[in-house]
Structure 1
Amino acid sequence: MVLFPFSFKELLAHADRAEKKGAVYLFESSWKKKYTDLGIRKILKKYSDQAGMVHSVSPPKLRHFLLTWLKKQGIDDALIQPYSGHASRKSLEVYSKLTISDAQGEYERVIPDFPV
């Protein structure tokens, strides 16, 4: 399952063409099959190489990035959990880790109001 906004799907002309052709999957191979994990990894590698990215990109890394970003946006765990694949909300704690720069920014924002 891939989580993305409904507006993104509507903007994809590909989705309309695929549906008219009887596609079962939003993105499928020329053999009308869903992409395998290895196939998706190869596609990500191809485009990340073309983009000159230094770090590797994988489906789990993209998923981790998205779930971490959602947590940082203040989205409640109850809303994230069904998409995460985790059986419990407790497992979502791994996405709550903030970088020191995130913490420093928040500290600087609130410290002037500290009741001294």
Structure 2
Amino acid sequence: MLVTPLKELLAMHTDSMTKKHAVYLFESSWKKKYTDRGIRKILTKYSEEAGLVQNLSPHQLRHFLLTWLKKQGIDDALIQPYSGHQSRKSLEVYSKLSITDAQAEYNEVINKFPI
């Protein structure tokens, strides 16, 4: 879940880029979209500043977002246009719960089992 300060920061950034008539939400000072390499450099910088042991990749962030959206109950039909996947069938990978998620759900429900 995005924490409130991050949401506010993103909202301010979006507003700023709209006022600048930017083409991209995140664009370079040359009014160009960032390259894959540029995005990786930015993520490396912020991963190090956050003290993460392992750097985040754009793919990991994308996977996290799509998994989070699925866990929020957002329908595949609404996620698919933003995911870059050609079909909703491709989104099934984000539907799989981890064993710890499944175990927590199981534990919560099994205690209510009427025996």
The answer to whether the superposition gives a TM-score over 0.5 is yes
Q: Which runs of 5 or more residues in structure 2 are unaligned?
A: 1-6
Query: In the TM superposition, what are the counterparts of 1:74-113 in structure 2 within 5 Å?
Result: 74-113=73-112
Query: In the TM superposition, what are the counterparts of 1:46-85 in structure 2 within 5 Å?
Result: 46-85=45-84
What is the CA–CA distance in structure 2 between the aligned matches of 1:84 and 1:109, rounded to whole Å? 32
Deviations 1:7-50 (A, max 9, x none): 758731x4444344443222211212111111111111111111
RMSD of the alignment, in Å?
2.2
Query: In the TM superposition, what are the counterparts of 1:3-82 in structure 2 within 5 Å?
Result: 11-12=11-12, 14-82=13-81
SS of match in other structure, 1:113: coil
- Farther-moved stretch of structure 1 (51-60 vs 17-26): 17-26
Assess, with a 3 A threshold, how the Cα gap between structure 1 residues 106 and 50 changes in structure 2: closer, same or farther. Answer: same
> Size of the alignment, in residue pairs?
109
Q: TM-score, normalised by structure 2?
A: 0.80
Q: Which amino acid is the alignment partner of residue 11 of structure 2?
A: L
Identity of aligned residues (%): 72
SS of match in other structure, 2:111: helix
What is the CA–CA distance in structure 2 between the aligned matches of 1:65 and 1:50, rounded to whole Å? 20
Deviations 1:40-75 (A, max 9, x none): 111111111111111221111101001111111222
Larger relative CO (CA 8 A, sep 6+): 1 or 2? 1
Assess, with a 3 A threshold, how the Cα gap between structure 1 residues 40 and 87 changes in structure 2: closer, same or farther. Answer: same
Matched with 2:3 is none
SS of match in other structure, 1:56: coil
What is the CA–CA distance in structure 1 between the aligned matches of 2:18 and 2:63, rounded to whole Å? 29
What is the CA–CA distance in structure 2 between the aligned matches of 1:10 and 1:38, rounded to whole Å? 22
